[in-house]
């Protein structure tokens, strides 16, 4: 079933009982008929979403275009890496202090 999925989806869905999930959704008559296919394809992070039949429809225009989001994501990644480096140094410091006591 995962053969046709993108690699990042395969990694996330590996070991999951997708056929059982599909059967449960069908048995429940879950209104979002494309949920299972969306899970196997992976969800887009940008663009317009189709109606799901679960949530009320409303139009909300995007706050940022894709180019701006890419620039912001690079900045967030830098902040995250810096934060991790600082946190790692704190852990290192605590480890060394613990050794001395």
**Helix boundaries (H) for 1-101:** 7-13, 18-28, 35-41, 66-100
| pTM flag (> 0.85) | no
The CB-side HSE value for 4 (13 A sphere, CA atoms) comes to 6
Model pLDDT for residues 36-90, shown as the tens digit of each residue: 999 998 988 888 888 889 988 888 888 888 888 888 888 877 777 777 666 555 4
Which pLDDT belongs to residue 96? 45
Which sequence spans correspond to the domains of the chain? 1-58, 62-101
């Amino acid at each position: 079933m995962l053969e046709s999925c993108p690699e990042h989806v395969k990694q996330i869905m590996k070991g999951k009982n997708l056929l059982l999930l599909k059967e449960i959704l069908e048995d429940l008559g879950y209104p979002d008929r494309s949920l299972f296919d969306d899970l196997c394809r992976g969800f887009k992070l940008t663009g317009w979403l189709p109606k799901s039949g679960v949530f009320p429809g409303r139009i909300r225009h995007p706050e940022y275009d894709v180019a701006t989001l890419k620039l912001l994501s690079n900045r967030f990644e830098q902040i995250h890496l810096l934060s991790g480096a600082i946190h790692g140094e704190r852990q290192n410091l605590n480890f060394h202090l613990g050794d001395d006591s």
